[in-house]
Amino acid sequence: METLSKLAEALAAGTTTSQALVESALARIDEPSGEGAHVFRSVYREAALTAARQRQPAQARHRRLAAGGHTGVDQGLVRCRW
């Protein structure tokens, strides 16, 4: 499992996108051998995917991050309300 810092670095480098990270997280939650079913009472799958898609246009955001516009380790990640 990647750390939040590593994921932020990948976003900044343009080697991943917010949508890819959300899809990966959802896949981990769904793993039959994992703890997702025990940890999460509700998963708002479509809302998370929609939020990732509707963030600022992905290409512009990732270019800005790659150009040094990075302001924090969670920039670009979808924040969930629990």
pLDDT in 10s for each residue of the chain, 82 residues: 789 899 888 877 778 888 888 999 999 999 989 888 888 889 999 998 988 887 656 656 666 666 776 655 556 555 555 5
pTM value is 0.64
Backbone angles phi and psi of 34, in degrees to 5: -95, -175
3-state secondary structure 34-79: CCHHHHCCCCCHHHHHHHHHHCCCHHHHHHHHHHHHCCCCCCCCCC
